[in-house]
Amino acid sequence: MDSKKTMPVLIFAVVLVALQVATSLSGRDYYLTQLTMSLYTCLLISGLCLVMGYAGQLSLGHAGFFAIGGYTSATLTTLNLTSALEGGNGLVVLLAKLGLLVSGTSLFGEELLYVQPWLAFVLAIVITTVVAFLVGIPVLKLKGHYLAMATLGFGIIIYRVVLAVEIFGEADGISDVPGFTLLPGLTINGEMDNRVINYYIAAGVLFLGVLLLQNLIYSRVGRALRAIHGAEDAANAMGINTSRYKLYTFVISAIFAAVAGVMMTHYNGGIAPADAGVMKSVRYVAIVAIGGMASLWGALSMGAVLTFLSLRGMFGSYDDAVFGVILITIMLFAPHGILQLPFWRKFKKSAKDE
């Protein structure tokens, strides 16, 4: 096997486990909550890294896809269908017969009947895929500033929709989202005694996603994507359907964002309009840029560290400003990411020489 390709994946798995062990040994289990959320964010970031770094397209609307995933799942799993079933609504009755509804009780002891999270998950992904295609086909014909503004515009529209539509909870968002039972015994929720399991669910999902992307990057398609990024017209002249490849990459990254959205929403038990905000999209772009655009590992490590620090409140009320400053500084002094700074290169080189 190619060690250049497999070693980072192995190291990645070890790091994921080591993080949990370290928190447990140091008695800081409470870090796991933010770590888990950081890992889901990393899932989105890894997809965005594929779009920005490998297909060379800027997307300022990825929080929109995160929101489409999260809101779809949250809406479907919080909609109480008890009365609809009694009322004989055809679709609801059919779903009930197929065993696609789950019953439960609310905090106030009210009887609940809602869509099985797996079905909601599948629907969320289907909707995201459709939207990503519809948006991607026209948008990806654009370049430079036009592409940036068009994706930003898409992001703002999604934000406006979730803020204005009653079923999405308007400014409050959606809360009391039930857990998502992947398999018996494996449930995504925010319960305290479920913390370690949830960390490993997030780690597992992220690992799987990264593995798929890593495979893709080292495949025929990945080579074509790098060619597109480097010299698009030459790639097209080599027989590569450049617009289709860019589109598929965009859709894949949108799906990654939506999966992150669904899982994070069930983990947090809710989702709010801020999750769809433009600042979130900018933040994701910042992280990928800091990691070095075409560096999956750079983006992942920066994503984990910065998201974790931000969630721990390290940046205080200057949270957004910190990301702005980081963005400017990196683009001014290290446009290829901080792992490409002379200091690191020297370090890497000396490590290689030994």
Partner 1 sequence: MALLEVTQLSKRFGGLHAVNDVSFTVQEGTIKAVIGPNGAGKTTLFNLISGTLAANEGMVEFRGQAIHGLKPFQIARAGMARTFQNIKMFPGMTALENVMVGLHPRSVAGFWAGMLNLPSTWTEEKRIKEQAMDLLALLEIEQFAHVEAASLAFGQQRAVEFARALASEPRLLLLDEPAAGLNIYETAEVARLITKIQGRGITVLLVEHDMSLVMDISDEIVVLSFGERIAEGTPREIQNNKDVIQIYLGE
Partner 2 sequence: MPLELFSQYLFAGITYGIIYAIVAIGFNIIYNTTGIINFAQGEFVMLGGMISISLNSLMPLPLAIVCAVFITMLFGGLLEIVFIRWLESPSVLRMIIITIGLSIVIREVALHIWGDGVRALPYFTGNVVSSVQILGASISPQVLWALAVCSIMVLMLSLFFKFTSLGREMQACASNRLAATLCGINARNMVTFSFMLSAAIGAVAGCVVSPITSTQYDMGTGLAIKGFTVAVLGGLGNSMAAVAAGLLLGIIEAFSVGVGFPLVFQDAIAISILLVILFVRPHGLFGNKEAAGLKEF
Residue from 80, 236, 279, 341 touching partner 1 (CB under 8 A): that is: 236
Convert residues 283-302 into a mask of x (bound to partner 2 by CB under 8 A) and - (unbound).
--xx--x-------------
What would the two tokens of residue 202 be? Answer: 């997030």
What would the two tokens of residue 311 be? Answer: 């969630």
- The letter for the amino acid at 24 is S
Buried b (16+ CB within 10 A) or exposed e, 143-176: eeeebbebbbbbbbebbebbbeeeebbeeebbee
Residue from 148, 227, 274, 341 touching partner 2 (CB under 8 A): that is: 148
Q: Counting contacts by CB under 8 A, is residue 150 touching partner 2?
A: yes
- By CB under 8 A, the count of residues binding partner 2 is 40
Stretch that binds partner 1, among 40-48, 118-126, 234-242, 314-322 (CB under 8 A): 234-242
Q: Counting contacts by CB under 8 A, is residue 28 touching partner 2?
A: no
Shortest Å, Cβ 279 to partner 1: 31
Residue whose C-alpha is closest to residue 121's, from 182, 64, 176, 204: 182
What would the two tokens of residue 334 be? Answer: 């290290």
Shortest Å, Cβ 199 to partner 2: 31
Q: Which does 279 bind (CB under 5 to 8 A by kind): partner 2, partner 1, none?
A: partner 2
Q: What is the number of other CB atoms lying within 10 angstroms of the CB of residue 346?
A: 10
Q: Which of residues 120 and 213 has its CB atom nearest to partner 1 in the complex?
A: 213
C-alpha R_g of the chain: 21
Distance CA 125, CA 303 (A): 23
Q: What residues pair up with 271 in beta bridges, in sequence order? A: 174
Q: How far is CA 281 from CA 25, 274, 315, 334, in A?
A: 35, 11, 18, 21
Q: How far is CA 208 from CA 43, 195, 202, 205, 215, in A?
A: 10, 20, 10, 5, 11
Q: Which does 237 bind (CB under 5 to 8 A by kind): partner 2, partner 1, none?
A: partner 1
Residue from 95, 213, 300, 302 touching partner 1 (CB under 8 A): that is: 213
Q: Which does 242 bind (CB under 5 to 8 A by kind): partner 1, partner 2, none?
A: partner 1
The pairing of beta strand 180-183 with beta strand 186-188: antiparallel
Shortest Å, Cβ 223 to partner 1: 6
Q: How many residues are recorded in the chain?
A: 354
Q: Counting contacts by CB under 8 A, is residue 234 touching partner 1?
A: yes
Contact set for partner 2, span 251-280 (CB under 8 A): 278-279
Residue from 215, 328, 343, 346 touching partner 1 (CB under 8 A): that is: 215
Residue from 11, 22, 237, 331 touching partner 1 (CB under 8 A): that is: 237
Q: How far is CA 236 from CA 56, 137, 294, 328, in A?
A: 15, 17, 20, 33
Contact between 310 and 319 under an 8 Å Cβ cutoff? The reply is yes
Stretch that binds partner 2, among 115-123, 156-164, 186-194, 341-349 (CB under 8 A): 156-164
Contact between 66 and 128 under an 8 Å Cβ cutoff? The reply is no
Q: Which does 282 bind (CB under 5 to 8 A by kind): partner 1, partner 2, none?
A: partner 2
Q: Counting contacts by CB under 8 A, is residue 162 touching partner 2?
A: no
Q: Can you tell me which residue has the tokens 């890894």?
A: 46
Shortest Å, Cβ 22 to partner 1: 31
Distance CA 296, CA 323 (A): 19
Convert residues 295-334 into a mask of x (bound to partner 2 by CB under 8 A) and - (unbound).
----------------------xx-xx-xxxxxx--xx--
Q: Return the H-helix or E-strand segment holding 223.
A: helix 220-230
Binding site for partner 2 (CB under 8 A): 58, 60, 138-139, 141-146, 148-150, 152-154, 156-157, 160, 163-164, 278-279, 282, 285-286, 289, 317-318, 320-321, 323-328, 331-332, 335
Binding site for partner 1 (CB under 8 A): 212-213, 215-216, 219-224, 226-227, 230-231, 233-242, 248, 252
